[in-house]
Amino acid sequence: MLPNCEGIFFDDIGSYPLPNGIRLDGLSREQYLRMVKDTLAQKIAAGVEVPTYPQFRDMIRMFLDPIEKPENQESPYLIKKENAEIVELQAVPLGGRVRVCVTGPVELYLTAFGATNYTDILYNLARSVARFLERALESGKVAVASLDEPSLGLSSTIVFEEGEILKALEIASGPCKGIDCEVHLHSPLYAEPCARVPGLRIIGVESAAHPDYLKLIDRKLLEETNTYLRVGIARTDILSMAASLNDRLGINLWDDPARLEREILAMESVEVISRRLEAARKSFGDRLRAVGPDCGLGSWPSQSMAGLLLTNCAAAVISSRKGEGE
């Protein structure tokens, strides 16, 4: 059962900085899983209620590579279920439950085929995504599932019709009926179509960096489709934030990591994050289901700095619940 399951829960998107001085190259499987386990514990200690297993691997290749291996395929781009393994779940302790993020079929297709429209391949990729989710669900370690589709509504290279895209998302999310399943978008333009996909229950919108995005979401539509929102309440676009600070301060904060951390966390303070959360509550009420950082934190300079942002988010969520009498 999710914490505070009748209200809002705090999750994160997944990607995270590597520990200082560590490179993925050369790590044994055991060393890699130990690193995932340790980082997952850091996220939980920071207050994340439904953490995503740390995504240290490339979000595309970690799924597309096993799908593309001929020996793993049942048919072109359809992975055999026994090969649809998310290795990181082995690092989740017995009894632990996490947010399981699988890169969505459209995103995988764009990497493999670009601006083409082989619908049979798209649907096979969707079936492959479903098999990764099936295997994850069988592990008993899934609290929330998520499809990562950042290009929807943004990329001009997507040439499929909307109906084809929605069918692919329905196939991919098929195993998730009965649990919270998110779709993680970088644009609100596909929020309405995604709300009509039966397997998707939560529509994730990056709104901390782009607060106007929430104005494009219709609460009545969410009520009609019995879907919910995941709202970004903390910015993660650190390159843009640092560039803005550098212009304002007339310095290069990347040359002073300690000050960079202070300035960024002052921009994303508990108070600032709380205001975003309360604005989302006011607009969407009980249609607000999940909150957390806009996107992953893999581009941040250190795990400690990323953890402090998560801690600020946790404090904002706790404060909001106290204000609601939860």
3-state secondary structure of 168: helix
Q: What is the pLDDT of residues 87-99, one digit of tens each?
A: 999 999 989 999 9
Q: What is the mean pLDDT of the chain?
A: 94
Indicate if the pLDDT at residue 20 is higher than 90.
yes
Per-residue confidence (pLDDT) for residue 1, from 0 to 100:
38
Amino acid identity, position 50: V
Indicate if the pLDDT at residue 4 is higher than 70.
no
Indicate if the pLDDT at residue 53 is higher than 50.
yes
**Cβ within 8 Å of residue 237, ≥6 positions away:** 209, 294, 295
Q: Which residue shows structure tokens 């009545």?
A: 220
Per-residue confidence (pLDDT) for residue 177, from 0 to 100:
84
Percent of the chain with pLDDT over 90: 92
How far is Cα 308 from Cα 168, in angstroms, rounded to an integer? 37
Cα of 123 vs its chain's centroid, Å = 22
> Which pair of structure tokens corresponds to residue 151?
């290009």
How far is Cα 49 from Cα 9, in angstroms, rounded to an integer? 7
Per-residue confidence (pLDDT) for residue 284, from 0 to 100:
96
How far is Cα 297 from Cα 309, in angstroms, rounded to an integer? 9
Contact 254, 241 (CB under 8 A): no
How far is Cα 83 from Cα 235, in angstroms, rounded to an integer? 36
H helix or E strand, kind and range, residue 312 = helix 303-324
**pTM for the full predicted model:** 0.93
Q: What is the pLDDT of residues 69-120, one digit of tens each?
A: 999 999 999 999 999 999 999 999 989 999 999 999 999 999 999 999 999 9
Q: Which residue shows structure tokens 């676009």?
A: 237
| Secondary-structure percent of the chain, ordered helix, strand, coil, rounded to 5 | 50, 15, 35
Contact 63, 107 (CB under 8 A): no
Length of the chain: 326
Q: What is the pLDDT of residues 262-308, one digit of tens each?
A: 999 999 999 999 999 999 999 999 999 999 999 999 999 999 999 99
